[in-house]
Structure 1
Amino acid sequence: MTETIALVLGVSMLAAASVLLRHRYWPNDDAEPREDVAEYIAMMVGVLYALLLGLSLVSVWEGRSSAEEHVQNEANAAHEIYQLAGGLPEADAVRLRESVTQYVHHAVRTELPAMAAGEPPGQEGWRLLQNVRTANRAPADAKAVEQVTVQEVANQVSVMGDARRGREADARNGLSPVLWFGLLSGGVLTIAFMFMFGIQRSVSHVVMVMGLTGLITLTVLLVYQLDQPFTGLMAVDSSSFNRYFPGA
């Protein structure tokens, strides 16, 4: 958070210094007549950039929401498997609960921290998930209720696998490079127009440029944070798993 505030303030101060230099070395530019076409172009650039910012924010917010939903579904499925194990014979229940607990421990202690560091989760999680699937079996003389339990556990294992697959996809996916280019170049262009249409009072000009620059910088940083759903201040963490498995 401190780094974000420092970066916003730093960029804003740099823009303010540029405005002061402009008023100092090119003071006569303010007296130049304004052209309606140029002002219209500047307005359109601002409107189009606002649309681009909105599109980017919606895109990354949906990506983060998807990541949060996948982690929640994965944790819910693991919890359901743990609870359903009670419907199996004791030895089978213990085996199933141990396998799903191992999977959750690996997800919480290894995978999510690795994803927070920007690393892929790896294949160990899939092996542990396969162990859960293998542990889900009933004896040959299983009762009807036990057979139903095995089937329901199999369904939850499938849900957990789909959620895990979605979580890995969320870590790989990100905002399009085209949108990133538009965000950065459009921000620079929008701020540059503030220098082309100067204001007679330098103080007012400085305040306007600082405000616009700070707001654009903050918004781009917000897009950057949301574009990485498992890292940063707004990261999707292991709280969903910890809710059901406090010792994970």
Structure 2
Amino acid sequence: MKHVVEMVALALLAAMIAAAAVVVWRRFRPSEEEEGDGEEAAEYMSMMIALLYALLLGLALVTVWELRDSAEGHTVAEAGSLHQMTVVAQGMPPDQQRRINELAAVYATHVAQDEWPRLAEGDGLGEDGWVLLRQLREASAAPPDATMDQQVTALELLAQLGTLDDARRGREADSRETLSPVMWAGLLIGAILSVCILFFFRIGRSVSHLVMAMGMVVLTVFLGLVIHHLASPFGEVMGIGPEPFTRYFPAAAEK
């Protein structure tokens, strides 16, 4: 809630600054200067710039939402495979089953308590999780005196481990993805052009138009902040959390 209030406050501040700028502009610039043969062309160009910027905003929103969706999918798949390993491990000898369950719980706790804060800061996963994954692989191997059923169970464990490994690598890749600097530059330049044109081409003469223009500034700034937060799929504001792990392993949520 705090971050939402901050986003709205920034948007309102931007609208007030823009409104103040247009009032000053109207005060020191005679209105007669606005009339001329080029007014229709200016209005057409302003409409085209607004349309192109709307398309750019839509493209950016789709991009960051797909990034978040991918991160959520990899997280759910990773947690689901880890939980499935504890279910399949029931077909192994008791000592081996206990070892797999312990390692799975440790892995889930490490992901929820250690890796997630690192992902939120953009620091990557680190090596400890991969070490735990190798230990899980060693613990899932069939024992020398395994029965036929236990050998089949070991193969199923390794299959689930392969899915977990792929999902973990996908989660790591998602943490490194973000909007390109070119896209951010286009969003910033487009916002400035749209707002400036909106305020300085006859809008300021009417109070109602001025209020609507301020509303557009609020919406533009708000959407920019939404894109910024969605571009961090594991961030604190609009990113996904480790709930898929804590749902299967409640102890992972305890600190």
SS at match of 1:247: helix
1:151-162 equivalence runs, <5 A: 151-162=155-166
Matched, 1:236 2:240: yes
Identity %: 44
> Cα–Cα, structure 1 residues 31 and 99, in superposed 2: closer, same or farther, change >3 Å?
closer
Partner deviation per Cα, 1:158-195 (whole Å, 9 max, x = no partner): 11111110111111010111111100000101111113
Equivalence for 1:133: 137
> Cα–Cα, structure 1 residues 139 and 196, in superposed 2: closer, same or farther, change >3 Å?
same
Higher mean alpha-carbon deviation, 166-175 vs 25-34, is at: 25-34
SS at match of 2:250: coil
Higher mean alpha-carbon deviation, 182-191 vs 138-147, is at: 138-147
- Return the alpha-carbon distance in structure 1 between the equivalents of residues 228 and 201 of structure 2: 30
The aligned amino acid for 1:225 is: H
- Return the alpha-carbon distance in structure 2 between the equivalents of residues 133 and 200 of structure 1: 68
Equivalence for 2:227: 223
Equivalence for 1:91: 95
1:177-192 equivalence runs, <5 A: 177-192=181-196
TM-score after normalising by structure 1:
0.95
Q: 2:127 aligns with which of 123, 129, 135?
A: 123
Aligned pairs, how many?
A: 248
CA contact (8 A) 1:198 1:205 kept: no
Q: 1:51 aligns with which of 33, 52, 55?
A: 55
Equivalence for 2:27: 24
- Return the alpha-carbon distance in structure 2 between the equivalents of residues 108 and 199 of structure 1: 51
- Return the alpha-carbon distance in structure 2 between the equivalents of residues 49 and 200 of structure 1: 22
TM-score after normalising by structure 2:
0.93
Unaligned runs of 5+ in 2: none
Q: 2:151 aligns with which of 144, 147, 160?
A: 147
1:157-176 equivalence runs, <5 A: 157-176=161-180
Matched, 1:73 2:74: no
- Return the alpha-carbon distance in structure 1 between the equivalents of residues 214 and 30 of structure 2: 19
CA contact (8 A) 1:78 1:156 kept: yes
- Return the alpha-carbon distance in structure 2 between the equivalents of residues 137 and 37 of structure 1: 73
The aligned amino acid for 2:17 is: L
The aligned amino acid for 1:23 is: R
SS at match of 2:203: coil
Equivalence for 2:39: 35
CA contact (8 A) 2:22 2:204 kept: no
Matched, 1:8 2:11: yes
CA contact (8 A) 1:23 1:202 kept: no
CA contact (8 A) 2:78 2:163 kept: yes
Runs of 4+ in structure 1 displaced over 6 angstroms?
none
- Return the alpha-carbon distance in structure 1 between the equivalents of residues 94 and 11 of structure 2: 59
Partner deviation per Cα, 1:79-131 (whole Å, 9 max, x = no partner): 00111111101011111111121111110110012212332221111111111
Matched, 1:198 2:238: no
CA contact (8 A) 1:77 1:156 kept: yes
> Cα–Cα, structure 1 residues 173 and 40, in superposed 2: closer, same or farther, change >3 Å?
same
Residue 31 of structure 1 deviates from its aligned partner by 4.8
User: Considering only aligned residues, what root-mean-square deviation do their CA atoms show, in Å?
Assistant: 1.5
Partner deviation per Cα, 1:53-86 (whole Å, 9 max, x = no partner): 0100000000000000010001000000111111
Partner deviation per Cα, 1:226-247 (whole Å, 9 max, x = no partner): 1000113211101111111111
SS at match of 1:120: coil
